């Protein structure tokens, strides 16, 4: 136990950790502030924080220049913040998932969400693999496109462990997948707002389609507002968010069976995404514990602050050359899969809603 605390003390109590913590916190606050303005609303706080983190590479380069210790310290600090605060942020987002609403008003949305997520993860992954995207990036892109954008990318990433020497590549894959679904979600949100009303669909059908097909909650809310019923679009979108839990578990099992390295006498070391149980626990507590229910807005806001810090930390460590070289195929896969997702979402809305 003493060794455990000593190890973490050495990681946390450093000048580099303090610097990166302050910078990522500022980036998170900047994202939360800018998202209220029309030009930034569709991007959302997390994507803005990621972009701010990328911009911070320039001043940090001057700080690290010709100093290997600082370079290693900044990289380690940013990696730790991205890893740990990501999980904490996702757990806190569970307080935003009102299970009572989902199991009453959204009861028809749950099976639709389950089928769409399962089908679209498989379709998107297959398209990405055909375009020669590496397996991890292909699955992260599939999850972000099919479930709930950046939160799904980061949640699924926790289900896909890699060796220490592969951590850099994993971080690049996370950023590429997040950037892809952010851009794609914005494109499709605008397209749906302007095009779908011409297909003779009711307000409810339009909002169900938006919630079932758009990538981020911010995108679904924006489209729901344009279609005059944010509540329906949000309920449908939250039904998809709930699918992040079973998806993380199934993908963890699949990833470990297909890709984990053999250890301990030929046995696979299985990594279970335990933090997703925290997400579910937060959902249950936030829905059914009156004292906590009164504070869910604050807890969710804290979750977005931590996630913003994690995204900014990813931006600090991102390698732009790798992004531009490997990201195009993932972008194409998400674009093609999103067309299929919109078609399926429209069909489900037409069949099951009036």
Question: Higher pLDDT residue, 294 or 146?
Answer: 146
pLDDT at 1: 54
Which tens digits make up the pLDDT trace of 127-160? 999 999 999 999 999 999 999 888 889 888 878 8
pLDDT at 136: 93
Which tens digits make up the pLDDT trace of 249-264? 898 888 888 776 544 4
Contacts with 328 (C-beta within 8 Å, 6 or more apart), sequence order: none
pLDDT at 46: 85
pLDDT at 323: 77
Which tens digits make up the pLDDT trace of 318-354? 888 777 777 899 999 999 999 999 999 999 999 999 8
Enclosing domain of residue 316 = 1-261+268-352
Residue 346 in tokens: 């429209």
Question: Mean pLDDT across the stretch 266-287?
Answer: 77
Burial readout 62-83 (b: 16 or more C-beta within 10 A, e: otherwise): eebeeeeebbebbbbbbbbbbb
Question: Higher pLDDT residue, 237 or 269?
Answer: 237
Question: Mean pLDDT across the stretch 276-280?
Answer: 87
* Residue 2 banded pLDDT, cuts 50, 70, 90: low
Q: Look-up: residue for tokens 């199934």?
A: 250
Question: Mean pLDDT across the stretch 279-289?
Answer: 92
For the cut 70, the answer to whether the pLDDT of residue 82 exceeds it is yes
Q: Tell me the Cα Rg of the chain.
A: 20
In this structure, what DSSP letter does residue 261 have?
A: P
Contacts with 299 (C-beta within 8 Å, 6 or more apart), sequence order: 92, 95, 282, 286, 292
For the cut 60, the answer to whether the pLDDT of residue 302 exceeds it is yes
Computed over every residue of the chain, the mean pLDDT equals 88
- CA trace torsion 190, 312, 141, 215 (10° rounding): -30
pLDDT at 303: 92
* Residue 64 banded pLDDT, cuts 50, 70, 90: confident
pLDDT at 116: 96
For the cut 60, the answer to whether the pLDDT of residue 242 exceeds it is yes
Tell me the C-alpha distance between 162 and 232, whole Å: 39
For the cut 80, the answer to whether the pLDDT of residue 272 exceeds it is no
Q: Are 174 and 154 in contact (CB under 8 A)?
A: yes
Which tens digits make up the pLDDT trace of 210-235? 999 998 888 898 899 999 999 999 99
Q: Are 248 and 91 in contact (CB under 8 A)?
A: no
pLDDT at 213: 96
Contacts with 262 (C-beta within 8 Å, 6 or more apart), sequence order: 268
Q: How many structural domains is the chain composed of?
A: 1
> Where would I find the H helices in the chain?
2-12, 15-34, 38-41, 45-55, 57-64, 68-93, 99-103, 109-130, 135-143, 149-157, 167-195, 203-213, 217-226, 230-242, 244-258, 275-288, 290-293, 296-317, 320-352
pLDDT at 186: 87
For the cut 90, the answer to whether the pLDDT of residue 265 exceeds it is no
pLDDT at 169: 86
CA distances from 353 to 112, 209, 288, 309 (A): 11, 10, 29, 39
Contacts with 321 (C-beta within 8 Å, 6 or more apart), sequence order: none
Q: How many CA atoms lie within 13 A of 42 on its CB side?
A: 20
pTM of structure? 0.84
Question: Mean pLDDT across the stretch 42-70?
Answer: 87
Instruction: Tell which residue, 24, 251, 302, has the closest CA to residue 146.
Output: 251
Sign of CA dihedral 36, 38, 41, 46: negative
Tell me the C-alpha distance between 216 and 47, whole Å: 10
pLDDT at 3: 59
Which tens digits make up the pLDDT trace of 26-55? 999 999 999 888 778 777 888 899 899 999
Which tens digits make up the pLDDT trace of 163-220? 777 888 888 899 899 889 888 988 999 999 999 999 999 999 999 999 999 988 888 9
């Amino acid at each position: 136990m003493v060794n455990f605390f000593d190890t973490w003390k050495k990681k946390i109590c450093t000048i580099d950790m303090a610097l990166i913590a302050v910078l990522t916190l500022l980036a998170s606050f900047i994202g939360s502030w800018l998202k209220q303005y029309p030009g930034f609303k569709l991007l959302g706080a997390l994507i803005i924080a990621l972009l701010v983190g990328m911009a911070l590479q320039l001043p940090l380069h001057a700080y690290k220049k010709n100093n290997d210790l600082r370079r290693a310290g900044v990289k380690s600090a940013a990696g730790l913040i991205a890893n740990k605060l990501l999980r904490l942020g996702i757990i806190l987002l569970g307080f935003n998932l009102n299970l009572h609403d989902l199991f009453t008003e959204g009861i028809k949305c749950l099976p639709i969400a389950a089928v769409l997520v399962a089908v679209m993860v498989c379709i998107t992954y297959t398209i990405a693999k055909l375009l020669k995207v590496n397996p991890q990036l292909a699955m992260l892109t599939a999850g972000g496109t099919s479930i709930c954008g950046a939160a799904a990318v980061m949640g699924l990433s926790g289900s896909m462990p890699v060796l220490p020497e592969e951590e850099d590549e994993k971080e690049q894959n996370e950023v590429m997948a997040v950037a892809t679904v952010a851009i794609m979600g914005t494109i499709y949100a605008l397209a749906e707002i302007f095009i779908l009303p011409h297909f003779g669909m009711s307000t409810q059908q339009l909002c169900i389609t938006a919630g079932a097909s758009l990538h981020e909650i911010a995108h679904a809310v924006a489209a729901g507002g344009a279609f005059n019923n944010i509540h329906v679009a949000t309920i449908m979108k939250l039904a998809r968010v709930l699918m992040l839990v079973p998806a993380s578990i199934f993908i963890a099992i699949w990833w470990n069976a297909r890709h984990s390295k053999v250890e301990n006498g030929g046995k696979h070391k299985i990594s279970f995404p335990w933090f997703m149980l925290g997400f579910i626990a937060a959902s249950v507590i936030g829905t059914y514990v009156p004292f906590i229910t009164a504070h869910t807005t604050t807890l969710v806001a804290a979750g977005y602050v931590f996630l913003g810090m994690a995204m900014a930390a990813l931006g600090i460590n991102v390698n732009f050359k790798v992004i531009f070289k490997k990201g195009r195929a993932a972008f194409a896969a998400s674009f093609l899969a999103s067309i299929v997702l919109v078609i399926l979402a429209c069909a489900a809305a037409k069949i099951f809603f009036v």
